[in-house]
Amino acid sequence: MSAITPEIVAQHGLSADEYKLVLEIMGREPNLTELGIFSVMWSEHCSYKSSKKWLKTLPTKAPWVICGPGENAGIIDIGDGLAAVFKMESHNHPSFIEPYQGAATGVGGILRDVFTMGARPVANLNALRFGSPDHPKTRHLVSGVVAGIGGYGNCVGVPTVGGEVNFHSSYNGNILVNAMTVGVARADNIFYSAAAGVGNPVVYVGSKTGRDGIHGATMASAEFNEDSEEKRPTVQVGDPFTEKLLIEACMELMATDAIVAIQDMGAAGLTSSSFEMASKGGMGVELELDKVPMREVGMTPYELMLSESQERMLIVLVPGKEEMAKAIFDKWELDFAVIGTLTDSGRMVLKWHGEVVGDLPIDPLAAASPEYDRPWEPTPALPVLTPADVEEKPWGEALSTLIASPDIASRRWIYQQYDHMVMGDTAQRPGGDAGVVRLHGSNRALAMTTDCTPRYVAADPVEGGKQAVAEAYRNISAVGGLPLAVTDNMNFGNPEKPRIMGQFVGACQGMGEACIALDFPVVSGNVSLYNETAGQPILPTPAIGAVGTIEDVDTMATVAFKGPGESIVVLGGVAGEQGWLGQSLYLRELCGREEGAPPPVTLAVERAAGDFVRAQIRASKITACHDIADGGLLVAVTEMAMAGDYGAMLAIEGPNLHASLFGENQGRYVVTVRESLLPDLLAAARAAGVEAQTIGTTGGFHIFLNGEQGPALADLRAGFEGWLPNYMAAEA
């Protein structure tokens, strides 16, 4: 038996206090395998020890929520006996070390979280953050991450229909790769992870176990240092072909009545899957580790328990169904092995060729999982900038610069590498406000999006947290969807620093307020902390993934102008004097300043505008719709013009024109309407208490403003479409 030295304890990421607790729970010194299990179960990644206290404050309930946080994914009722199952999860650290495999296995992991619950995955999305375009590593990381996401998602045959990408120097050493999967299940055929039934067989299916990613879960919870590139060998390799087979085999098995409980082996592999299943069911479990299908010779119990080999699941079967289940996995050429049984001992007992090599109490370990109330300080408020505080540049040049800037330019280079049409239900492809996927065989659809504006969150975590939720709400509404629920992926720096913890607390507060005001509960989520390199934290990035329903896909709205001579209307109003340039892209890209308070979000206004625009879309009263976000009003109008290939003739008067055109005031949409229907629209808006202002008409080949000819669409498009491919093609 190996003596557990303080060095070994530290290598396993446990503090001295935590180790004291280990000794108390065990009543003896643990062996290495047992220590490893404590280490992964109590890692930040698995235990949420820094974040739990605050995540609990988020609203998670609504009449349509079938299952909130705590399971593999969240579940909502979407009508017609169907449920949407979705979650977003980070794979940040692995993707920085090995971008292709890190991103690919991130997609694989989140797919498993969803199909584990009985849902067929119908769409993938992602939220990516890279370092500054000037940073020497950025190109390589973009290229590898995008290829990895595509390589995995394309092969499993699930369309990648949406996402977002930001570039900022705070991510130079810590990129963010957040992957989201949306699945659809029959609401009466959902599978959970709580084990039940003493004596029931515990079955291992999928790929064999190798030495992949041992201690990945602890790696994902430790701050990066300069030598972390040395950690490459522990990154796991994805096999999307096996995942595809695993999806089909699981779907086939789920159509029978053989499954008691099922759980994927994600981070911390066999340990966390078996532990969580037993713990949730109040059961004990006995595993015969020598029965685990192994890919390499000489593997130890320690390695088997901690391996993060991909494409594996653990299933508790109804007794007597083993043979039938095995036949299904044989058909799909996947491993199938009975590796244990459920007991009533409340303990996890690990055997190796008959000998006990580990014996831990389940409840005490789970219950004693640390929960910290880390000290935090609120983020100091920044001054509000007035339009006069920001230099006014010629509008045409400003527009041309913004439209071709890294955070606004077209993502076509990326989404063309993702199969976004497979499964034959993609009604709205990437490039619009939200991806829209038809519910197979019906006229109804799901709308989905991912959103966050990290620069706002950094400047004011509460308002920024609100804004991330509100923008997701807006994007779903802008295609005509009813926003139903969100998943969150909380990416922050080191929570042991009060300033960072304060960002987390503030973001949770803002998100919570927005979720309540918009009836938009959080049903699943993931936390990624310690995103720092050499003490430099990332911008706080609470990425929000959202799902909504569209009742009739034929009425769905898109951003493209549909024809000439239509009226262009701003819902939520032209900002004028109140134009908000603090933290705007105008301020950053044209003035080189990242300053000021971010635009506030007024949730009642947000809600009213969303309800109004959705009703107009559903009644086919408007012909195009786009929310106003990064870059402000003129950028939104230009994006609509480029998508439709019709210009715009605008009349926006007044002083502080730059604040009207480029201010990033929240809660607004640009819509187009046939001229004959304009009076109706304006009257309806008035009745709904939504400010509506007509700003011009569609047509021509340029953006005209107050009679002045601005940039040609063709030139704007060249900048918009050209930035990313040109950047990627350039020499490092």
Tell me whether residue 35 or residue 158 sits nearer to another protein (CB atom).
158
Shortest Å distance, C-beta 239 to another protein: 7
Residue 665 is labelled as binding a ligand: no
* Nearest distance from C-beta of residue 439 to another protein, angstroms: 12
Query: Is the Cβ of residue 15 or residue 416 nearer to another protein in the bound state?
Result: 416
Closest approach of another protein to the CB of residue 620, in Å: 15
Tell me the CA distances in angstroms from 283 to 66, 278, 349, 429, one per residue in order: 24, 5, 12, 46
The response to whether 227 counts as a known ligand-binding position is no
Q: For residues 124 and 126, what is the distance between their CA atoms, to the nearest angstrom?
A: 7
Tell whether residue 90 is among the known ligand binding residues. yes
CB of 558 to another protein, least distance (A): 10
Buried b (16+ CB within 10 A) or exposed e, 59-79: bbebebbbbbbebbbbbbbbe
- Which class for 178: exposed (0-12), middle (13-18), buried (19 or more C-beta within 10 A)? buried
> Which residue lies nearer to another protein by CB, 395 or 723?
723
DSSP label of 576: G
Specify whether 140 is catalytic: no
236 is in an annotated binding site: yes
In this structure, are residues 218 and 83 in contact, taking their beta carbons and an 8 Å threshold? no
DSSP 487-524: EEEEE-S-TTSHHHHHHHHHHHHHHHHHHHHTT--EEE
Neighbours of 102 (CB within 10 A): 24
DSSP state of 233: G
606 is in an annotated binding site: no
Closest approach of another protein to the CB of residue 329, in Å: 12
Cβ-based neighbour number of residue 516 at 10 Å: 14
Place of tokens 């506030």: 600
Nearest to another protein of 112, 474 (CB atom): 112
Q: Does 594 count as an annotated binding residue?
A: no
Q: Given the complex with another protein, which of 154 and 549 has the nearer CB atom?
A: 154
Is 264 annotated for ligand binding? yes
Catalytic: 12? no
Kindly tell me which of 448 and 605 has the beta carbon lying closer to another protein.
448
By beta-carbon proximity to another protein, the closer residue of 423 and 601 is: 423
Q: Where are the beta strands (DSSP E) in 509-590?
A: 522-528, 532-533, 536-537, 541-550, 567-571
**DSSP assignment, residue 273?**
H
Tell me whether residue 621 is exposed, middle or buried, using C-beta atoms within 10 angstroms of its C-beta: 0 to 12, 13 to 18, 19 or more. middle
- Residue 200 assigned as binding residue: no
- 330 carries a ligand binding annotation: no
Catalytic residue among 91, 215, 420, 658: 91
304, 273 in Cβ contact below 8 A? Answer: no
Tokens linked to 567: 């009226």
Tell me the three state secondary structure of residue 323. helix
| DSSP at 224 | B
- Shortest CB 730 distance to another protein, Å: 11
For the CB of residue 732, give the shortest distance to another protein in the complex, in Å.
7
- Please measure the distance between the N-terminal and C-terminal CA atoms of the chain and give it in whole angstroms: 52
477 dihedral zone (left: phi>0; alpha: psi -120 to 50; beta): alpha
Which residue, 152 or 456, is less far from another protein as judged by CB?
152
Is 420 flagged in the annotation as binding?
no
Name the residues that contact another protein, by CB under 8 A: 147, 150-151, 154-157, 239-242, 244-245, 332-333, 415-427, 429, 438, 443, 553-554, 731-732
Q: Least Å distance between CB 645 and another protein?
A: 12
Are the beta carbons of 656 and 387 closer than 8 angstroms? yes
Q: Of 226 and 731, which CB lies nearer to another protein in the complex structure?
A: 731
Pairing status of strand 120-130 against strand 160-167: parallel
Please state the closest distance from residue 684 (CB atom) to another protein, in A: 27
> Binding residue per annotation — 113?
yes
- In our burial notation (b when 16+ CB lie closer than 10 A, e otherwise), range 705-730 reads beeeebbebeebbebbbebbeebeee
C-beta of 424: minimal distance to another protein in Å? Answer: 4
**48 labeled binding residue:** yes
| 526 marked as binding residue | yes
CA dist 339 and 326 (Å) reads 13
| Residue 310 marked as a ligand binder | yes
CA 278 vs CA 21, 262, 545, 572: distances in Å: 21, 11, 30, 52
Q: Using H for helix, E for strand and C for coil, what is the string for 179-214?
A: EEEEEEEECCCCCCCCCCCCCCEEEEEECCECCCCC
Nearer to another protein by C-beta: 355 or 731?
A: 731
Three-state SS annotation for 97-121: HCHHHHHHHHHHHHHHHHHCCCCEE
What is the C-alpha separation between 65 and 72, in angstroms, rounded? 15
Closer to another protein at the Cβ: 249 or 270? 249
Smallest distance from the beta carbon of 243 to another protein, in angstroms?
Answer: 10
For 388-420, give the DSSP string: GGS----HHHHHHHHHTSTTTS--HHHHTTS--
Query: Residue 106 or residue 710: which is nearer to another protein going by CB?
Result: 106
Residue for token pair 């498993």: 112
* 488 known ligand binder: yes
- Nearest distance from residue 249's CB to another protein, in Å? 10
- CB contact at 8 A, 485 and 528: no
Considering the candidates 12, 45, 626, 702, report the single residue annotated as catalytic.
45
From CA 549, how far away is CA 437, in angstroms rounded?
10
- Residue numbers in the known binding site for Mg(2+) are 89, 113, 264, 526
- Residue numbers in the known binding site are 48, 87, 89-93, 112-113, 236, 264, 308-310, 488, 525-526, 528
- Residue numbers in the known binding site for substrate are 90-93, 112, 236, 308-310, 528
- Residue numbers in the known binding site for ATP are 48, 87, 488, 525
**Which residues participate in catalysis according to the annotation?**
45, 91
